[in-house]
A and B are shown apart, each in its own frame.
Chain A
């Protein structure tokens, strides 16, 4: 009996196109859109391009020190920092005007930088490049000043100092607090998986509705069959859970292997979190499906709305929404399933398996049990006052 119910529920869920759309296809589409929109943004801010710069040498005053700096910065084999173009002042000014170079180094005894004002749409990138050029000049001036003063006060230490400035020594060690992925875009993908987990509620709702004689003809037919309602519900919920988890796992695989999202932690732990998210989703749907004599369409509407509201509050649409809620009403974050699921992923990514991760999973399971027990209490009725 259990296996019979399990088998046919599995067949039903895998053929239910509407449910598959919400759990399988919709998150994939949304993930692809995130990738197209936010993936490029990431590349624009992180990838570095060589900065074209004009160098205008004043003929009578040679500055070998700055020339050495320029040579060093333009000699990297992969992506040199600078691409100098040597020109006279008029020609350099013309290149700057055409936007062929980002600035002009006027090199004489002193070194000065000339940049064009930021007026176009690419102002952010231009400003970044101009800042780099300014930093180079500032650093040159600082080092030159130090060398001059040392030469005047302690000339015997000059060779050592020159050696130090050329060695680019670092006295600190950069230590990452986490082996995880600190990219902010990853949060969107975590929220996306949380949403997919919540959309498993459709399947849970279907199980509840088709076990109540006052909600559907199929429910009535099931109620007159010689079987325990809870055995049937249990078999179907388990079947739903496994099939829905399979869909969410496909989504995770799509994000990891196709979108190339770096979840920064082991895949089995991600899947475990998703599985518990699915338990919550199915139980949530089961509870919604159990309440009142509301039509199937209305219940679907309630589930989509509530799921999306949870996701909205967790920051799926606005990234700092969760922080805002944390400031004004942290209790919402403590019980919002979408927050708990995405926070579990985030915690897993940054801290690995930790107390906070365990606490999140425990809360998720607790809420799921609450939904499941409430649903069972609502459908336990065996005779109805009206059909």
Chain B
């Protein structure tokens, strides 16, 4: 069996009376884009800091590439790239110099480093800005520089802690595409975010965190299958009687039915072809209908059902 890139068992981190990480367990396999999804304060960054051995913890074990991570595990650190939540670059160094400086902390050989820096510049599309100072860059470009500084040395494991906070949609897409690209080139990625759309878009596996706990883990589809609610259907039907509503409730996989202001709202509980069954019923009854909407469950629904609160509200 392949050694996991990261294995966390029973991790507990306390800040006095507050339990920031509560018996947290995950296993991240090579080649994954692993998402840590949770609202602010759920313990994502604390977990990352524990993995990196920046934070001490009260209980549990953390293994990186099969070895216990310690502050002086330089052989392990050399294989890790970190993109911090806060932009961590020198304002007095240019874009090129910043990338070269951080790459130089990992790569000693000058020619190789030069090649890596050029590749990182090209990767984040900052070549035209190589002589710019960070203060002259927009928020999106600055985030891209932050990423370049973290990945220039071509690490096997890249940890990105909320890299798209306060970034415009265009830059956000560039960053997400870049992350997928890095993964395709062989890097294992840990991606933390409170944006469920991003996590759903790029992550192969996701752990949902709340209150320092890992409340569920799996692929996006696996997570959605864990909840009762499935498809949401909305149909504009001008005339509908209570008898019709009773009939619809008796159709397979119907969880909840309501009707108000000419709109029929149906919450399904799994199953397939639910919309087809409902539309066939309406046609059989000779009921006319106008617009039809079908909405598949999101990770927010998963979070809502598992914690009783909205993920979005915390974002």
Q: A-side interface residues toward B, CB under 8 Å?
A: 1, 4, 8, 11-12, 15-16, 213, 216-218, 220-227, 382-387
Task: Tell whether, in the assembled complex, residue B74 and residue A11 are in contact, meaning their CB atoms are under 8 Å apart.
Answer: no
- Chain B residues with CB below 8 A from A222, complex form: 105
Instruction: Using CB atoms, name the residue of chain A closest to B98.
Output: A8
Task: Tell whether, in the assembled complex, residue A224 and residue B55 are in contact, meaning their CB atoms are under 8 Å apart.
Answer: no
| Cross-chain pairs A/B with CB under 8 angstroms, 17 sampled | A4-B101, A4-B104, A8-B97, A8-B101, A12-B90, A12-B93, A217-B87, A218-B89, A221-B82, A221-B150, A223-B52, A223-B54, A225-B105, A382-B72, A383-B54, A383-B55, A384-B54
Task: Tell whether, in the assembled complex, residue A217 and residue B106 are in contact, meaning their CB atoms are under 8 Å apart.
Answer: no
- Chain B residues with CB below 8 A from A8, complex form: 90, 93, 97, 101, 104
A225 to B56, CA, bound (A): 17
For residue B84, CB closer than 8 A to chain A, the reply is yes
Interface string of B102-130 (1 = CB under 8 A from A): 10111010000000000000000000000
Task: Tell whether, in the assembled complex, residue A387 and residue B54 are in contact, meaning their CB atoms are under 8 Å apart.
Answer: yes
- Chain A residues with CB below 8 A from B78, complex form: 226
Task: Tell whether, in the assembled complex, residue B82 and residue A224 are in contact, meaning their CB atoms are under 8 Å apart.
Answer: yes
Task: Tell whether, in the assembled complex, residue A217 and residue B92 are in contact, meaning their CB atoms are under 8 Å apart.
Answer: no
Select A383's contact among B71, B75, B77, B84, beta carbons within 8 Å.
B71
Shortest distance between the CB of B83 and any CB in chain A (Å): 9
- Chain B residues with CB below 8 A from A213, complex form: 54
Instruction: Using CB atoms, name the residue of chain B closest to A19.
Output: B92
* A387/B77 contact (C-beta < 8 A), A11-B93, A225-B105 known: no
A387 to B45, CA, bound (A): 10
Shortest distance between the CB of B56 and any CB in chain A (Å): 4
Task: Tell whether, in the assembled complex, residue B92 and residue A12 are in contact, meaning their CB atoms are under 8 Å apart.
Answer: yes
A15 to B93, CA, bound (A): 8
Shortest distance between the CB of A9 and any CB in chain B (Å): 10
Task: Tell whether, in the assembled complex, residue A217 and residue B86 are in contact, meaning their CB atoms are under 8 Å apart.
Answer: yes
- Chain B residues with CB below 8 A from A226, complex form: 74-75, 77-78, 105-106
Shortest distance between the CB of A74 and any CB in chain B (Å): 67
- Chain B residues with CB below 8 A from A218, complex form: 88-90
8 A Cβ contacts from B112-170 to A: 149-150
- Chain A residues with CB below 8 A from B92, complex form: 11-12, 15-16
- Chain A residues with CB below 8 A from B298, complex form: none
A216 to B108, CA, bound (A): 25
For residue B15, CB closer than 8 A to chain A, the reply is yes
Among B15, B55, B78, B105, chain A packs the most CB atoms within 10 A around the CB of: B105
Instruction: Using CB atoms, name the residue of chain B closest to A382.
Output: B71
Task: Tell whether, in the assembled complex, residue B53 and residue A220 are in contact, meaning their CB atoms are under 8 Å apart.
Answer: no
- Apart from A226-B75, A382-B53, list 14 A-B contacts with CB within 8 A: A1-B105, A4-B105, A8-B104, A11-B92, A216-B88, A217-B84, A224-B52, A224-B82, A226-B105, A226-B106, A382-B71, A383-B53, A383-B71, A385-B55
A259 to B104, CA, bound (A): 44
Interface SS of B by simple majority:
loop
Q: B-side interface residues toward A, CB under 8 Å?
A: 15, 49, 52-56, 71-72, 74-75, 77-78, 80, 82, 84, 86-90, 92-93, 97, 101-102, 104-106, 108, 149-150
- Chain B residues with CB below 8 A from A383, complex form: 53-56, 71
Shortest Cβ-Cβ A-B pairs, 8 listed: A382-B71, A217-B88, A226-B74, A226-B77, A217-B86, A225-B105, A15-B92, A226-B78
Shortest distance between the CB of B130 and any CB in chain A (Å): 15
Task: Tell whether, in the assembled complex, residue A221 and residue B74 are in contact, meaning their CB atoms are under 8 Å apart.
Answer: no
Task: Tell whether, in the assembled complex, residue B93 and residue A386 are in contact, meaning their CB atoms are under 8 Å apart.
Answer: no
* A224/B93 contact (C-beta < 8 A), A383-B55, A383-B56 known: no
A387 to B102, CA, bound (A): 21
Select B55's contact among A4, A11, A217, A387, beta carbons within 8 Å.
A387
- Chain A residues with CB below 8 A from B77, complex form: 224-226
- Chain B residues with CB below 8 A from A386, complex form: 15, 55
A323 to B244, CA, bound (A): 103
- Chain B residues with CB below 8 A from A387, complex form: 49, 54-55
A1 to B97, CA, bound (A): 15
Instruction: Using CB atoms, name the residue of chain B closest to A1.
Output: B108
- Chain A residues with CB below 8 A from B105, complex form: 1, 4, 222, 225-227
- Chain A residues with CB below 8 A from B55, complex form: 383-387
Shortest distance between the CB of B272 and any CB in chain A (Å): 47
A382 to B106, CA, bound (A): 19
* A224/B54 contact (C-beta < 8 A), A1-B108, A11-B92, A12-B93 known: yes
A12 to B84, CA, bound (A): 21
Select B80's contact among A1, A15, A216, A224, beta carbons within 8 Å.
A224
A218 to B104, CA, bound (A): 15
A386 to B49, CA, bound (A): 10
A382 to B72, CA, bound (A): 8
Instruction: Using CB atoms, name the residue of chain B closest to A386.
Output: B15
Task: Tell whether, in the assembled complex, residue A221 and residue B84 are in contact, meaning their CB atoms are under 8 Å apart.
Answer: yes
Task: Tell whether, in the assembled complex, residue A220 and residue B54 are in contact, meaning their CB atoms are under 8 Å apart.
Answer: yes
Shortest distance between the CB of B161 and any CB in chain A (Å): 10
Instruction: Using CB atoms, name the residue of chain B closest to A225.
Output: B105
A188 to B108, CA, bound (A): 48
Instruction: Using CB atoms, name the residue of chain B closest to A221.
Output: B88
- Chain A residues with CB below 8 A from B84, complex form: 217, 220-221
- Chain B residues with CB below 8 A from A385, complex form: 15, 55-56
- Chain A residues with CB below 8 A from B82, complex form: 221, 224
A242 to B106, CA, bound (A): 26
Instruction: Using CB atoms, name the residue of chain A closest to B149.
Output: A221
- Chain A residues with CB below 8 A from B52, complex form: 223-224
- Chain A residues with CB below 8 A from B56, complex form: 383-385
A218 to B82, CA, bound (A): 12
A225 to B80, CA, bound (A): 9
A226 to B88, CA, bound (A): 17
A264 to B92, CA, bound (A): 40
A225 to B92, CA, bound (A): 20
- Chain B residues with CB below 8 A from A1, complex form: 104-105, 108
- Chain A residues with CB below 8 A from B75, complex form: 226
- Chain B residues with CB below 8 A from A220, complex form: 54, 84, 88
